Structure formats: C-alpha cells, structure tokens
Structure 1
Amino acid sequence: MASLNVGNLGEYLREQRRTAQLTLRQLADAAGVSNPYLSQIERGLRKPSAEILQQLAKALRISAETLYVQAGILDERDREEAEVRSVILADPTINERQKQVLLQIYESFRKENAAEAENDRPGAGPGDTTPSS
C-alpha cells in the first residue's frame, strides 16, 4: 500500500500516544477505532476522517484542531491558534471549566484584533477620506 502523504500526521500521532504513555491498543480502544486501522494511520497508510481525528484527539486529550492541521484539513496559518488551544487543553494544572473560559477569552481577543486590523486597513474605514483619482 502506497503512502498517502500523511506521514507527518502518523508520526505526530505516535509521538502524542507515547507522550500520553498509551499503547497502540489502548489508544485504539479509547478512540473507538480498530488497532490495525490506527497502526495504518501511524504508518502513513491511511488518511483518517475529521471525525476519527476528533475521536483520537479526545482520547489523547489534545485539540482536534492540532490534528486537523497535521492532516492538512486546516490551513497552515491556523497552526498557531491550534497550538495555543492544544497547550491550554493539555494543561493538567487547570480544570476543564477554566480551560473553556481561557479558550473563550483567547477567541474574543483574536476577534477583537482582527476587527481592529480590518479597520486599520487603508480604505477600509467608514471615515476614509482618501481622494480617488
């Protein structure tokens, strides 16, 4: 079976599984996928769906967005946001409610900054008085 260019995803999953100190079988059971299927994903022979990636992320206690970026489902520019989310979700020193609050605050700051950047663009503001030629 030829590689589907998902080797980075497989390597990343294997690294996350080992970091979580889970065997292949344990992760497969926790994610609700078969052991052979997970093995094929880790070896880059299968490209899992977004739903399977979400199940794997939940079992690994990492953000699904991180796996989506690795799998090429999310654009590379979304990587930083996914990494921030992943770090927050993986932090064992805060509880789930605190993690969700942090993520909401983070998202509100991103939206606020995006709106400000849009308004700061030349010609984008309602008070733009730039003469047209």
Structure 2
Amino acid sequence: MASLNVGSLGEFLREQRRQAQLSLRQLADAAGVSNPYLSQIERGLRKPSAEILQQLAKALRISAETLYVQAGILDERDRGEVETRAVILADPTITEGQKQALLQIYESFRKENGLGADPDAGHGEPSPSTN
C-alpha cells in the first residue's frame, strides 16, 4: 500500500468542501461522521478508513477513487481502470447485462494489450487495494 499523506488529503477534502459550498458541519452531517472527526481529517490529524472516504466522496459528489488516490490507498496508475469501471457500472442508461458485457470487452482489450485482468472485474463496485 502506498504511504498515506493525510496532510494533502485533508487539504484536498477542505478544498472540495469549499467548492461544494458546504460548511464543515454540513459535510459531516451528509457523510454521517462527527464534526470534530471531519475537522481532524481536514487538519491531517486523523487517517480515515476507506469506508469513511467513500461516505465523504458521496456527500461531496466526487468519485471515491479520487479520495483513495489522495489517501494513498489506490495507486495513481490504477485510477484510470478503476474510474472506467465505475463509470460503466454507474451508467443508468444501460442494463446490468450490458454493463457486464462492456466490462468483459474492456478486460479482453486490456489482456490483448498486455495489461492483464483485474481479479475483481465484473463484481460490482471497485474496492480499494489493501496491499
């Protein structure tokens, strides 16, 4: 697992919160965390879990993968693949079967290009690596 840089994660979260025009309390309420805990995350004093990052991302309406990369949970090089999967899985205009077919085609192209397959391919939401 990449090293955690909580200072830059906190700064990034604060900036995202400000861009969303949310107070600390509003974001804490929307994410289901305490106001003091969120403040500590923003100041770089606490290391949030992947679950908390996911809740914060949902409240901020950004991808959880973006926060995972900021927190060092997910490598930057993996981000494109994870985001591609997330976009396909989140598309409300196609059926679940179509989503799975697209993911299978995507994987076959990745294999053909020597990038290998993701062991979690086609199994719902991408999850952060725990190496």
TM range (shorter): 0.5 to 0.7
Equivalent-residue separation in structure 2 for 1:73 and 1:44 (angstroms): 16
Residue equivalent to 1:97:
92
Kept after mapping to 1: 8 A contact 2:28/2:34: yes
Matches for 1:1-133 after TM superposition, within 5 Å: 5-81=5-81, 97-98=92-93, 104=99, 107=103, 110-118=106-114
Residue equivalent to 1:131:
none
Equivalent-residue separation in structure 2 for 1:99 and 1:72 (angstroms): 32
Give the counterpart letter for 2:111 in structure 1: A
Are the structure 2 counterparts of residues 32 and 111 from structure 1 closer, same or farther at C-alpha, using a change threshold of 3 Å? same
Structure 1 vs Structure 2: percent identity of aligned residues? 71
User: Relative contact order, CA 8 A, sep 6+: which one is greater?
Assistant: 2
Q: Would you tell me which structure has more helix in proportion to its own residues?
A: 1
Compute the displacement of 1:115 (Å). 1.5
Q: Alpha-carbon deviations, 1:57-103, whole Å to 9, x = none? A: 111111111111111111121233456678x6xxxxxx9614998xx
The residue matched to 2:45 in structure 1 has which SS?
coil
Are the structure 2 counterparts of residues 15 and 106 from structure 1 closer, same or farther at C-alpha, using a change threshold of 3 Å? farther
Kept after mapping to 2: 8 A contact 1:68/1:74: yes
Indicate the structure (1 or 2) with the bigger Cα radius of gyration.
1
Equivalent-residue separation in structure 1 for 2:40 and 2:20 (angstroms): 19
Task: Note the residue ranges of structure 2 that are not aligned, 5 or more in a row.
Answer: 116-131
The residue matched to 1:46 in structure 2 has which SS?
coil
What's the RMSD between the two structures over aligned residues?
3.1
TM-score, normalised relative to structure 2: 0.67
Kept after mapping to 2: 8 A contact 1:31/1:58: yes
